[in-house]
Amino acid sequence: MALIFMAAYTNYRRDPRVKREAEALAESGHHVVFLARRQHGEPNREIIEGVEVIKTPGLKNKCTSFIEYMLDYVIFFLMIFAHLSVRPLRYQAIHINNMPDFLVFAACLPRLLGVPVIHDIHDLMPEIYVEKFSSGEKHWIVSLMKIQERWAGKFASAVLTVEDRLKDILSGRGIPREKIHVLMNLPDDRIFAKRDSLPSKPRDAPFVMVYHGTLARRLGLDIAIEAAYKARNAVPRMELRIIGAGEEREQLIALRDRLELQDVVKFSEGFVPVEKIPAMILDADVGLIPLRISSGTDIMLPTKLLEYVTMGIPCIVPKTGTICRYFDEDMVQFFEAENADSLAEAIIALYQDPSKRIALSRNATERFANVYNWSVHKKTYTNLVERLLGHKSALYPRMKAGRPEQ
Position 270: which residue type?
Answer: G
Q: What percentage of residues in the chain have a pLDDT greater than 70? A: 94
> For position 39, what pLDDT does the model report?
81
Local confidence band at 46 (pLDDT 50, 70, 90 cut-offs): very high
Summarize the confidence of residues 119-147 as an average pLDDT: 85
Summarize the confidence of residues 87-92 as an average pLDDT: 96
> For position 391, what pLDDT does the model report?
72
Three-state SS annotation for the chain:
CCEEEEEEEEEHHHCHHHHHHHHHHHHCCCEEEEEEECCCCCCCEEEECCEEEEEECCCCCCCCCHHHHHHHHHHHHHHHHHHHHHCCCCCCEEEEECCCHHHHHHHHHHHHCCCCEEEEECCCHHHHHHHHCCCCCCCHHHHHHHHHHHHHHHHCCEEEECCHHHHHHHHHCCCCHHHEEECCCCCCCCCCCCCCCCCCCCCCCCEEEEEECCCCHHHCHHHHHHHHHHHCCCCCCEEEEEECCCCCHHHHHHHHHHCCCCCCEEECCCCCCHHHHHHHHCCCCEEECCCCCCCCHHHCCCHHHHHHHHHCCCEEEECCCCHHHHCCCCCCEEECCCCHHHHHHHHHHHHHCHHHHHHHHHHHHHHHHCCCCHHHHHHHHHHHHHHHHHHHHHHCCCCCCCCCCC
> For position 59, what pLDDT does the model report?
64
Say what the pTM is: 0.87
Residue 404 clears pLDDT 70, i.e. is over it: no
> For position 112, what pLDDT does the model report?
96
Summarize the confidence of residues 48-58 as an average pLDDT: 92
Q: What percentage of residues in the chain have a pLDDT greater than 90? A: 76
> For position 370, what pLDDT does the model report?
92
> Which residue has better confidence, 140 or 113?
113
> For position 197, what pLDDT does the model report?
67
For the chain, the maximum distance between any two Cα atoms, rounded to a whole number of angstroms, is 73
Local confidence band at 302 (pLDDT 50, 70, 90 cut-offs): very high
Summarize the confidence of residues 67-78 as an average pLDDT: 89
Residue 254 clears pLDDT 50, i.e. is over it: yes
Local confidence band at 282 (pLDDT 50, 70, 90 cut-offs): very high
Contact between 117 and 94 under an 8 Å Cβ cutoff? The reply is yes
Q: Using CA atoms, how far apart are residues 368 and 186, in angstroms rounded to an integer?
A: 11
The chain-wide mean pLDDT, for the chain, equals 91
Summarize the confidence of residues 44-57 as an average pLDDT: 94
Phi-psi region of 211 (alpha: psi -120 to 50; beta: other; left: phi over 0): beta
> For position 281, what pLDDT does the model report?
96
Position 237: which residue type?
Answer: R
Local confidence band at 70 (pLDDT 50, 70, 90 cut-offs): confident
Summarize the confidence of residues 77-84 as an average pLDDT: 96
Long-range contacts of 67-76 (CB under 8 A, 24+ apart): 72/9, 73/9, 73/99, 73/100, 73/102, 73/103, 76/9, 76/37, 76/103
> For position 134, what pLDDT does the model report?
67
For residue range 190-248, what is the model confidence (pLDDT) as tens digits?
899 888 766 567 778 899 999 999 999 999 999 999 999 999 999 989 999 999 998 89
